[in-house]
Chain A
Amino acid sequence: MKQHKSRLSRIFSAREMPIIVFTLLVYGAFSVMAPNFNTFNNVSVIAQQITINGIVALGMTIVIMIGGMDLSVGSLLSLCGVFAGMMDNAGLPVALTVLLTLVIGTALGALNGLLIVKLHIPDIIVTLATMNIFRGVAVMVTRSQWITDFSDAFLHIGSSKGGLFSIPILLYVAVAVVFAVCLRWLPFGRLLYAVGGNREAAVLMGLNVPSVKIRVYAVNGFLLGLAGLLFASMFGSIQAATAATSLQFQTMGSALIGGANIFGGAGSVLGTVFGTILLGMIKNGLVQIHASEYWLDFITGAVILLALLVNLIQLRKKGRC
Chain B
Amino acid sequence: MGETILEMQHIAKAFSGVYALKDAQLTLQKGRVMALVGENGAGKSTLMRILTGIYDHDGGTILYKGQPVHFKNAMQARDAGIAIIHQEFNLFPNLTVAENIFLGDKSVQSHGLVDWQAMNRRAQELVDSIGGTFSVEEKVQELSVQNQQVVEIVKALAANAEVLIMDEPTSALPESEVQHLFRTIRGLKARGVAIVYVSHRLNEIFEICDDITVLRDGVTAFLSEVGATTQQEVVAQMIGKEVTVLYPKQDAEIGGVVFEARHLSDGDTVKDLSFCVHKGEILGLYGLVGSGATECPEALFGLVRGAHGTFLMDGREISLHSPAQAVANRIAYVPPDRHRQGIIRQLSIRFNLTLAVVRRLCTRSVIRRKDEQATVDDYIRKLRVKCAGDSQKVTFLSGGNQQKVVIAKWLATNPALLILNDPTRGVDVGAKAEIYSLISELACAGMAIVITSSEISEILGMSDRILVLNEGVVSREFLRGQADQKSLLSAALMRPDETQGGV
Contact = CB atoms under 8 A, between A and B. Distances in A.
Interface of A: 1-5, 184-187, 190-191, 193-194, 196-198, 200-202, 204-207, 261, 265-266, 318-321
A202 B144 CA distance: 22
B94 A193 contact: yes
Contacts of B137: 4-5
Interface residues of B, number: 28
19 contacts: A1-B135, A2-B133, A5-B137, A184-B114, A185-B113, A186-B112, A186-B113, A187-B109, A191-B103, A191-B104, A194-B95, A198-B92, A201-B91, A205-B75, A205-B90, A205-B104, A265-B92, A319-B141, A321-B144
Interface in B17-52: none
Nearest to B105: A187
A66 B139 CA distance: 18
A321 B135 contact: no
Contact of A2 (B135, B144, B145): B135
Interface in B113-135: 113-114, 116, 133-135
Nearest to A194: B92
B240 interface: no
A241 B90 CA distance: 46
B62 to A, nearest CB: 20
A197 B93 contact: yes
A1 B113 contact: no
A185 B144 CA distance: 27
Nearest to B116: A185
B74 interface: yes
Interface string B67-82: 0000001110010000
Nearest to A2: B135
Contacts of A5: 137
Nearest to A264: B94
A201 B92 contact: yes
Given A1-B133, A185-B113, A318-B141, 10 more contacts: A3-B135, A186-B112, A191-B104, A193-B99, A197-B95, A198-B94, A201-B90, A204-B90, A265-B93, A321-B144
A265 B143 CA distance: 17
Nearest to B111: A185
A319 B92 CA distance: 14
A176 B75 CA distance: 35
A190 to B, nearest CB: 6
Contact of A206 (B78, B114, B133): B78
A7 to B, nearest CB: 12
Contacts of A207: 104
Contacts of A201: 90-92
A186 B114 contact: yes
B251 interface: no
A319 B231 CA distance: 40
Contacts of B134: 1-2
A318 B143 CA distance: 10
B75 A190 contact: no
Nearest to B139: A318
Q: Which 8 A-B residue pairs are closest in the complex by CB-CB distance?
A: A206-B75, A197-B94, A201-B90, A265-B94, A197-B92, A185-B113, A198-B92, A194-B92
B144 A320 contact: yes
Nearest to A267: B94
Given A193-B92, A201-B90, A185 B114 contact: yes
Given A204-B90, A205-B103, A190 B95 contact: yes
B94 A187 contact: no
B142 interface: yes
A207 B78 CA distance: 13
Contacts of B90: 198, 200-201, 204-205
Contact of A204 (B74, B94, B139): B74
Nearest to B93: A197
